Structure 1
């Protein structure tokens, strides 16, 4: 079972990295949203499905972002204040 979970996490990381693009919003496919994840100055850009917005766990992250940044996101896009690993773990759970 640990091997299966490890494979799911690895495939989720690869999926998220494959959606990781330059900072130009023109490369976000229809039905997806670009978000910046990370703490302090080391943020990474991910492109996630819009369906994530309706999930309670993702909404909790959005509320945390609102508390920390309000509507002034320093990266010019939606910035989520959590570690990259937490975000990847959450995304892997939302994907299943």
Structure 2
């Protein structure tokens, strides 16, 4: 995962499903909160807990700027970004949670 301090991430309910974009300084903890349904009513309500994309940044300002830009993108662009590196929409959480 690298030694970055801040992360922008995209969660999905399923392949091609509902998307959620967030920012955090502790990616494993934050995604675990989404998975346990203790975070945010949107992700809980729509079952959005599959982490399909993330980017690391050194500065919070960079991460917040990227999050805002991604949120404004058309859905097709978001899907293309996910599928560029994760064409099967595999849940990346086990990969980051283990180390």
- Higher Rg: 1
| TM-score, length basis structure 1 | 0.29
More strand by share: 2
